[in-house]
């Protein structure tokens, strides 16, 4: 009987931890005094931490109860402060190394170097399911995304140190012209390569696609010193950079 109970408990824990949406958890709870907004704020902060740490993954939308908390985080000072801390650590790491001519720093684009907050602020800060057609029409094709300021500052530091910059994005090759123009308009004026997804690419997901592209770079003789991205799929899988730096993004999850 004890073995059976232990088995059932193990299954229940695994089902909650292994890729479960946070909607599986009782996010909206009441205290002895009734509804407590500060308690919801605290729970949403805990959800955001778990999502950023990849303890919660595979989610399609943020919890409905967390829209206001997510908006407050993104539009307040904490989001930029978190971004600054991550970029500073990447800069400190890169600065401490002897630079080789084949050393490169990889950046993702959307949510990493270009801010897509203007789009997500109009779509519930992640409470709506992602629509790729709408995203391209309302955001990518306009080509006016602003730079994420702390990433732009880090980019300039890294260029001045002598690193080659490579942008690796899941954007389709058909978006090359608008992406190049947007990057330059936002302040990213030089790079070694801009890698976009070829129509013939049949990778099953973003993680496998970016893994394969990093492998090509290594085969070409580059040494990937650091990978900087806002999604875990930007960072996971081999080959990796010598260091990986995860920027904050609690609005969406890409596998």
CB-based contacts of 187, cutoff 8 Å, min separation 6: 147, 152, 155, 156
* CA distances from residue 30 to 38, 39, 40, 69, 84 in whole angstroms, order as listed: 11, 8, 9, 17, 35
In the DSSP assignment, the letter for residue 209 is H
| Domain ranges within the chain, ordered by starting residue | 79-246
pLDDT at 12: 37
Extended beta strands in the chain, E state: 30-31, 34-35, 103-107, 164-172, 193-197, 223-229, 243-246
In the DSSP assignment, the letter for residue 201 is -
pLDDT in tens, the chain (255 residues): 443 333 334 333 333 333 334 343 444 444 444 456 788 999 999 999 999 999 999 999 999 999 999 999 999 999 999 999 999 999 999 999 999 999 999 999 999 999 999 999 999 999 999 999 999 999 999 999 999 999 999 999 999 999 999 999 999 999 999 999 999 999 999 999 999 999 999 999 999 999 999 999 999 999 999 999 999 999 999 999 999 999 999 999 999
CA distance 255 to 84: 25
**Candidates 3.40.50.1000, 3.40.47.10, 3.40.50.2300, 3.90.180.10; CATH matching 79-246:** 3.40.50.1000
Q: What is the largest CA-CA distance in the chain?
A: 67
pLDDT at 248: 98
């Amino acid at each position: 009987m004890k073995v059976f109970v232990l088995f059932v408990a193990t299954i229940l824990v695994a089902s909650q931890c292994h890729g479960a949406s946070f909607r599986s958890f009782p996010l909206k709870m009441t205290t002895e005094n009734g509804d407590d907004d500060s308690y919801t704020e605290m729970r949403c902060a805990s959800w955001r931490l778990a999502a950023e740490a990849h303890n919660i993954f595979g989610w399609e939308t943020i919890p409905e109860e967390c829209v206001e908390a997510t908006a407050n985080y993104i539009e307040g000072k904490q989001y930029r402060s978190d971004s600054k801390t991550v970029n500073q650590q990447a800069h400190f790491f890169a600065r401490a190394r002897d630079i080789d001519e084949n050393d490169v720093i990889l950046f993702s684009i959307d949510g990493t170097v270009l801010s897509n907050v203007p789009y997500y602020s109009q779509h519930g800060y992640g409470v709506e399911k992602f629509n790729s057609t709408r995203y391209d029409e309302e955001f990518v094709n306009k080509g006016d995304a602003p730079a994420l300021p702390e990433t732009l500052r880090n980019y300039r530091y890294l260029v001045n140190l002598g690193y080659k910059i490579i942008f690796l994005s899941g954007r389709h090759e058909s978006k090359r012209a608008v992406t190049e123009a947007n990057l330059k308009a936002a302040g990213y004026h030089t790079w070694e390569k801009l890698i976009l997804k070829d129509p013939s690419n049949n990778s099953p997901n973003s993680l496998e696609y970016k893994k394969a592209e990093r492998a090509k770079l290594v085969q070409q003789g580059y040494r990937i010193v650091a990978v900087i991205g806002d999604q875990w799929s930007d960072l996971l899988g081999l080959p990796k950079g010598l260091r990986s730096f995860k920027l904050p993004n609690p609005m969406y999850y890409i596998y």
